[in-house]
Structure formats: C-alpha cells, structure tokens
Amino acid sequence: MSSKVSLHLSSMVSLSVISLMCGGGFLYSAVTGSVLLVEWEVLNLNSCCVVMSLIFDAVSLVFLSFVLMISSMVLYYSGSYMEGDKSFNRFMYLVLAFVMSMVLLIVSPNLISVLLGWDGLGLVSYALVIYYQNEKSSNSGMLTVLSNRVGDVAILLSIGLMMGAGSWNFLFYSPDGLSSDLLKMLIVLAAMTKSAQIPFSAWLPAAMAAPTPVSALVHSSTLVTAGVYLLIRFSPVLQGSSAASALLILSCLTTFMAGLGANFEYDLKKIIALSTLSQLGIMMSILSLGASELALFHLLTHALFKALLFMCAGVVIHNSKDYQDIRHMGGLVKSMPLTSMNMVLSNLALCGMPFMAGFYSKDLIIEVVFMSTVNIICFILFIMSTGLTVCYTFRLIFYCLSGGSNSGSLANISDTSTVMTNPMFVLAGGAVVAGASLSWLMFPENYMICLSNGMKSVTLMVSLVGAMVGYLVNMMNVNYTLMSLSSFSGVVFMGSMWFLPHLSSFMLSKSSLSVSAKIEKTLDKGWFEYLGGQGMYSILTEGSLMVEISQNKVLKVCLKMVVIWGALLVFLFV
C-alpha cells in the first residue's frame, strides 16, 4: 500500500511542479513575445533535414501547463479510485506514458516528431481502453485503435508530401507556403480521426470502457484534443481552403448529432462523452472559420470543467455499486453534497453560465460565428446545438441529483474520500476563475462584437428553452410514460448517434468477414488443402513407399531393375 501511495503522490507533486514552471514560462513568453526553439539534426536526406525539434512558445507552454496540472489531479484521484486494483502500478505507468506522449506532441513543431507523440497516444490509449480485459473493452479498444490508424496513415502521407516543400517544420510556412490541397485535406482528416468528427465519431463513446480516471484525462486535455491542437498549429495554412469549408459542415453536424444523442442516452459516462464530442465540434467549427486563438481558449477552459465533470461521475459510479445508469441514481444532493456541488458547477460551466469558465469562451465563439459569413444551415445547427447542450445538462441534473434515491439498499453513498474530493476542488476553482483570467491574458485587446439586441439575446433564450425542456419533459417522462415518444422510430435514429457505431463496426466488417469465410471454405479448406499441406504429404508418402520398395533386396525387383536399365541403355545408344 505504501508503494501505491508514494507512486500517485510523487506523480502528482512532480507534474504539478512542472506545470507551475510551464505556467511561469507562458507568462514570460506572453509578456515578452519570446520563443525558444531547440533543434537536433538526425539525418540529412536529399537536402531535406530530418530534425528533432522542440518549441516552447506561448501556445505550447499554456497548453502544457494545463495538461500537466489536470494529469496531476487525475493521478492523485486515481490513488483512491483504483485503490483495490491489483495492477495499480501498471495503470499508473500507462497513464504517465500517455501524458508523456501528449507532451511530445505539444512541443513538436516538426511533423516527424509529431508522429511519435501521435502514435504513442494511439497505442497507449488502446492499452488503457482494454484495461479491464473483457469482451466489451476489447471491442471498444479495437474500434478506437483502428479509427486512430486512419489518422496515422494521413500523417505519414503528409510527411511524404511535405518533403517536396523543403522542411517538415510546419510553423515556418506562410499561409501561401503550402499550396497542396491534398496535404491540407490529409491534415484535416488526421485531426478529424483524433477528435472524433463525423464519420469517425463512434470510437469516442466506446472508449468509455476505460477506467473513469482515464476518461477524465482522455476526454479533457489529451487524446481528443490532439487533433484540435494540430489544426491550431496548421491554422494559417488552412484559412480559406476547401478543406476548411468541409470541416465547417462536418463539425457543425457533429455538434448537433452529439447533443441530440446525449438527450436519449442513460449511461452517465456516455452522456459526458457525447458532451465532449459536442464541444469538440464547436472547437473545430471555429477553427475552420480562422479563429484559432478562440479555439485554443475554449480548449483550455473546456479541459478544466470536463475533467471535473468526469471526476464527479467517477465518485458517483464508485459509490453506486458501479452502476452507470442514471435511472438508478437520484437524490445524490442529500447523500453526496460536495460531489453534487462540483457536478452542478461543472455542468453550469458547460452550459455557458455567465461568469463561469465556459461562458467566456463559448459565448465569444457563438457571437463570432453569428458575425461570420456562414450559411443558414450552420447557423441553425449552432443555435440548436446550444439549446441541446443545456437540455441534456439539466436532464442529467434531474436524474442524478434531484428527487428521491433510486439506488439499491446496499449502496453506501458518500463522498468522504478526501483523496477523490480534494483534486475536484482544485479543478472547481479553475472552472470558476480560469475563464476570466485566461481572457485577460490571451485577449488583452477586446474583440469587436457588432450584433443587434435580438441576435445577442438568441443564445440566452435558446439556453433557457433548453433548460426547461431538459428538466420538465424528463419529469413528465418519469411520471407519465410518453408512449408517442417511445414508439417513435426516429428516437432510435437520434439516440444511436445516427447509426455511426453500427456503420463503423458492423457495416465495415460484414463484407470483409463474408469474403474471408468464402476464402476459408474454397482455399484454406479446399484447394490449398488438396494442393498444400495434405497434397504434399500424400505425394511424399507415395514417393517414399516406391523408393522403399525399389531398395528392397528381393530377386524379382532386382531382375526388373536390370531389365529397365538395360532397355534404357539400349534406347539411349541405339
């Protein structure tokens, strides 16, 4: 037990210290505008230098500070959540390897060294998703790693295309420096796979098979944000391209689809995962419009309250006999007041409650979108997604926190574990003050928002309607079963992420499995069996029997051999 305690405590302290150092570096870089670039030439190939580069500028340092701070809180939180696990040390080392892969990705301005962190994230995430080693986690892990492999191939192809540009250091290119549309499409494709945009959205809810501390880390600041961070680095090149236009449509659809699916989901962790997917769509959409600073701002604030929300969910699940169905919860505000307070806090930040962390970034993004020249479809999708976010948030509050208790009689529900509640309070402080602090640091000069009173109030009105629908309709559904809603076939379509999990798994594997079954019958168990192993065995067996017979010391065999060889000699010489 002492080694476990020392491991999670030492990890938390060391990562927190490094996080504070990176935060100080960010303040220095933001004030002075200085950038530190470290290069090590590995190979020189056809006037293209393969260089290991590390960059420490304001963007990388602030993101690094947030990642390490959240990781330290998650590792400390894991000391209590994974306390009874026999493989506790293995879990901690996997999480540390995951964090180190993300660090390598953040500080790399070179596409080759980015690939090391990119592949490291995919590999370690697979090991973490299959951590519980059952059939469900195995299927989820396979879907996760295969979806991410598509992005890995896109990065490899991008490295090949960038060889003709002279350097793989993508930070040094002007907006017109990379003219290849194919290269831009490949970078956007890689980012879409990591950040789970349509049609690669199925793996993100499936990755909930991992332990909850891993979910808090993966869905807040590491794996799913890697694609957003890559596009932030490539944003000067992508502005005005066809790849950005395609990304805008797909990200708006992703946001709407995730918000719609979360309103029909009953798994607590999947609701929060779909919430992450919705916010990733918002980041991608504002990136495609060219506002990379706003995308980074929302990325940082979202990381704080989403990690807090997953930690609260972990405490609830841990104390509810490992149930994740929100219909088996209820009344937690009485038995778990600290966790309930933090959960409401993170949910309000997610909704964009004024003066919370999410308000400063999300409200600014929506107003910039309203000012931009987007088409009417994207505009409507943004408004509806805003209302759906508040709707599923209040639905979650209704089922989990209000009303009477629906848990079993043997559930020992409390939040007395200080190892799990202390890091939640650290993140809760960030969810309250980080939005205002970051807005002052990142945007010392205010954006010019020029909207009418009606447009300014659209977001507030849609949020209020969403809150009423999310709470009142679900109260009606609990007290009076809505037969018309439950029998509506569209509910299946809307609540299943538009059949993307089915299309990503069954539809892709059906044809390949049927072809492989035919190949097995016709070749492996057919001609290959006859001409392969069994055929060679029968031929060699018959040949060896003939040789054995010919070498027997029998008079008639010897006389036959004399006659055969004599006839052969006569034929040759005559």
- Given a contact cutoff of 8 angstroms between Cβ atoms, the answer to whether 176 and 47 are in contact is no
Alpha helices in 107-180 (DSSP H): 111-129, 135-162
Interior angle at CA 56, CA 236 and CA 218, nearest 5: 80
Closest CA to 304 of 422, 429, 182, 487: 429
Q: How far apart are CA 178 and CA 188, in angstroms?
A: 14
- In sequence order, which ranges of 401-452 are alpha helices (DSSP H)? 418-442
* pLDDT > 50? residue 4: no
- Residue 484: count other Cβ atoms within 10 Å of its Cβ: 7
Indicate whether 412 pLDDT > 70. no
Tens digit of pLDDT for each residue in 130-152?
A: 988 888 888 888 888 888 888 88
Lowest-confidence pick of 113-122, 154-163, 491-500, 543-552: 491-500
* pLDDT per position as a tens digit, 466-490: 888 877 777 766 555 554 455 455 5
Among residues 70, 91, 57, 94, which one has the least CA distance to residue 18? 70
- Whether residue 410 has pLDDT greater than 80: no
pLDDT category of residue 2 using cuts at 50, 70 and 90? very low
- pLDDT for 50 equals 74
Tokens of 249: 């449509």
CA distances from 359 to 302, 340, 434, 500 (A): 10, 21, 11, 31
Answer yes or no: are the C-beta atoms of 201 and 254 closer than 8 Å. Answer: yes
The mean predicted confidence, pLDDT, of the chain is 81
Q: What is the DSSP letter of 327?
A: G
Is the backbone of residue 211 left (phi > 0), alpha (psi -120 to 50) or beta?
beta
pLDDT at 494: 66
pLDDT score at 491: 62
Question: Is 263:497 a contact under the CB 8 Å cutoff?
Answer: no
pLDDT at 391: 87
Residue with tokens 């190892």: 419
Determine the pLDDT at residue 480: 52
Q: Is 473 exposed, middle or buried, given 0-12, 13-18 or 19+ CB atoms closer than 10 A?
A: middle
Distance CA 243, CA 470 (A): 35
Task: Tell me the one-letter amino acid at 6.
Answer: S
Q: What is the pTM of this model?
A: 0.83
SS3 content of the chain, % helix, strand, coil (to 5): 75, 5, 20
Measure the CA–CA gap between 19 and 451, rounded to whole angstroms. 39
**Sign of CA pseudo-dihedral 64, 70, 76, 80:** negative
Position 429 pLDDT exceeds 80: yes
pLDDT digits 0-9 by tens, 341-397: 888 898 888 888 888 888 888 888 888 888 888 888 888 888 888 888 888 888 888
pLDDT at 258 over 60: yes
Kindly report the number of other CB atoms within 10 A of residue 481's CB atom: 10
Report the distance separating Cα 120 and Cα 108, nearest Å: 13
pLDDT of 403: 67
